[in-house]
Amino acid sequence: MSRHIVVLGGDGIGPEVTASAVEVLRALDAQRQLGLSFEAHAFGGAAIDAHGDPFPVQVLAACRAADAILLGAVGGPKWANVPTAIRPEAGLLRLRSELGLYANIRPLQVHPALVDASPLKRERIDGVDLVVVRELTGGIYFGERTRSDTRATDECAYTVAEVERVVRTAARLARSRCGKLTSVDKANVLETSRLWRDVVTRVVRDEFPDVQLEHLLVDAMAMYLVSRPRDFDVIVTENLFGDVLTDECAAVSGSLGLMPSASLGDSGPGVYEPIHGSAPDIAGQGLANPYGTIQSAAMMLRQSLGAPEAAVALEAAVHAAIRDGIRTRDLGGSATTADATAAVIARLMAAQAAYAA
């Protein structure tokens, strides 16, 4: 079976962490004969420099033809004064829109060996295991914008259909886990949130009566994520709120560098990326944490490439490396990107050898 992956390294540390994940995937492929192939393209700021466009048409064509897409990160101060329509982030929004990737899935599990890396007390985060499902192609990031010398506007708009499809994704996920779904909005103020709450209530009541639903306002959710994160199973929310809350989740885990994500639609390739940014201040120094990208690759194996056993093996290797103290600087250690990559590969090989024996 052939499995073709398009790699969009992007900017800053993006090329470093995607190279790390590809190295690990090649080792896993050699071990398990997964039929993986890779095709790299410039994306984001790198594509602006090379082609004058953050998401050239030939890159879109390659993405459409792929089985999955591995993405690093985009943006940086170099492109801060580029017109909004062609900034690196515009390429990312177009990627999501063109491929119909409306559901962004971001799991948060606190690794037992990293409990003390979190700024929160051990008793609050030990055993945290939740998933945020962020709506990804609607809301304020995709609304109409205006700007004058004295005024600016950003439109936030949602349709019933946009809310229905993402809440179905989240409810199915909740059904497969602990059966609890928390919907986050700002229904006491925003009309879009009132629509959101009405649609979520109806869909869960009519289609997922076995799922326990609660509604929380986004400001309350921000507080509860740091005061009682173990109370949550699956959280579903709109685009902007999901963006902010999942960075808060990363703080709970101990580092932005740990959290993976999958962006999925109804068909076609998914996009898999760590939730961190391009971190231009450490780019090229070998300091980036590749674990989030490697775990995104594991999600890719499970969700898009039909290789769940390989995904489990890869996640186990990452967890073993962390358990054994291979920590990058953001986790309080001194391991380089290359050290962390090599540690994961070594544990994959060791697990295979133990199985063969």
Residue 340, classed as helix, strand or coil, is helix
Count the helices and strands in the chain (H runs, E runs): 12, 12
Q: Let me know the angle formed at the C-alpha of 109 by 105 and 111, rounded to the nearest 5 degrees.
A: 145
CB 265 within 8 A of CB 165: no
- Residue 141 annotated as catalytic: yes
The active-site residue out of 29, 158, 185, 186 is: 186
How far CA 355 is from CA of 29, 295, 311, 351, 352, in Å, comes to 16, 22, 16, 6, 5
Per the rule left: phi > 0, alpha: psi between -120 and 50, beta: everything else, 16 is alpha
- Residue 355 annotated as catalytic: no
The active-site residue out of 198, 219, 231, 266 is: 219
The active-site residue out of 243, 272, 291, 330 is: 243
Q: Give the 3-state secondary structure percentages of the chain, helix then strand then coil, rounded to 5.
A: 50, 20, 30
The active-site residue out of 141, 158, 272, 291 is: 141
d(CA 60, CA 66): 10
- Residue 154 annotated as catalytic: no
Largest CA distance in the chain: 72
Burial 26-49 (b: 16+ CB within 10 A, else e): ebbbeebebebebebbbbbbbbbe
The active-site residue out of 53, 129, 154, 247 is: 247
- Residue 186 annotated as catalytic: yes
**Closest listed residue to residue 283, CA positions, set 43, 44, 11, 75:** 11
**Closest listed residue to residue 200, CA positions, set 240, 140, 173, 160:** 160
Q: Report, as residue numbers or ranges, the catalytic residues.
A: 141, 186, 219, 243, 247
